[in-house]
Structure 1
Amino acid sequence: MQNQDDNKKDILGEEEVTQVIHTFYERVQVDEKLGPIFNDVVKIDWPSHLPVMVQFWRTIMFGDGGYQRNPLMAHMKWTSEVRMDEQKFQHWLDLFHSTIDELFSGPNADLMKMRSANMATMLPRRIKEFQNLS
């Protein structure tokens, strides 16, 4: 766990979640490993994707985002075009954590990193299990 940095506030609600998500995905778009996946293969519509990701993380963090989609299915539809392995998820996680650490510090920042780490571990395993059933 990280000590509270006097110059950084904690993630307290939608404003901070939005800042994390927008900053993170700005970095994803230009990242040499993740950018081509999101921009060229999946062809993310960023203006519509970002509010969904804010909604998802508000739900994960505070229970008030109203996200009701299935993240596993959202990732599954791209597995035939993109090999989504543990290394890609780890790179995603490293970038996500560094974004949080640069912007915020505190118990909720730590919680967001913990929950993202759980997802980065669970999603590739669930994708692999799903593919083995097919």
Structure 2
Amino acid sequence: MLRSPSAPTDLATRADIDRLLRRFYDRALTDPDLEAAFATLAVVGLDEHLPVVGDFWEQVLFGTGRYRGRLVPVHTALHRQHGLGAARFDRWVRLWTDSVDALFAGANADRAKAKAAAIAAALSAQLDRASSA
């Protein structure tokens, strides 16, 4: 079966991840539910942040082992400032899923959506436990 030239292809390269991240962050930075939490990037700088997040997703999807960051402490600090509750994580997953679906289709795209949902659920639960401890 031939695909039309405009049909989405699967996530396959770091360039694909970078394209996905740009689309997602363009939306998240202006989303009424998320913009306050993402405003911290104005200090760090999106151009410095995206390669780190790209390393993370490249490791998650392609097993590169490039990511050397610490996901939980960063999100714990954001949670203290902005209250990253379940509703915000749900919104994040919705924007991520919409961004993936707008650009890609295939096994890696599906895995990117499933991993995002699992990561969001785990982070949300961990932050909830830490807040109530």
The two structures have a TM-score, normalised by structure 1, of: 0.88
User: 1:42 and 1:127 mapped to 2: Cα distance?
Assistant: 23
Give a deviation string over 1:44-89, Cα, whole Å, max 9, x none: 4211111111111001111115102221111011222111100000
Q: Does 1:31 align with 2:14?
A: no
Aligned partner of 2:57 in structure 1 is 57
Report the counterpart of residue 122 of structure 1 in structure 2.
122
User: 2:77 corresponds to which residue?
Assistant: 77
Partner SS, residue 32 of structure 1: coil
Task: State whether residues 37 and 82 of structure 1, in contact with CA within 8 Å, keep that contact through their aligned partners in structure 2.
Answer: yes
Q: Would the alpha carbon gap of residues 52 and 66 (structure 1) be closer, same or farther in structure 2, given more than 3 Å must change? A: same
Matches within 5 A, 1:73-112: 73-112=73-112
Contact 2:41 2:49 in 1 (8 A): no
Q: Between the two proteins, what is the percent identity of the paired residues? A: 25
Q: Which runs of 4+ in 1 moved over 3 A?
A: 40-44
What is the TM-score with the length of structure 2 in the denominator? 0.88
Q: What is the RMSD of the two structures over their aligned residues, measured on CA atoms?
A: 1.9
Q: How many pairs were matched up?
A: 129
State the alpha-carbon separation in 1 of the partners of residues 22 and 41 from structure 2: 20
User: Is the CA contact 2:93–2:117 (under 8 Å) kept in the aligned structure 1?
Assistant: yes
* Structure 2 unaligned regions, length at least 5: none
Mapped partners of 1:85, 1:43: distance in 2: 23
Q: Deviations over 1:16-65 (max 9, x none)?
A: 11111111001111111111221169844211111111111001111115
SS in 2 for 1:64: coil
Corresponding letter in the other structure for 1:80: R
Q: Is the 8 A contact 2:21 2:50 kept in 1?
A: yes
AA aligned to 2:23 is T
Does the CA-based 8 Å contact 1:42-1:78 persist in structure 2?
Answer: no
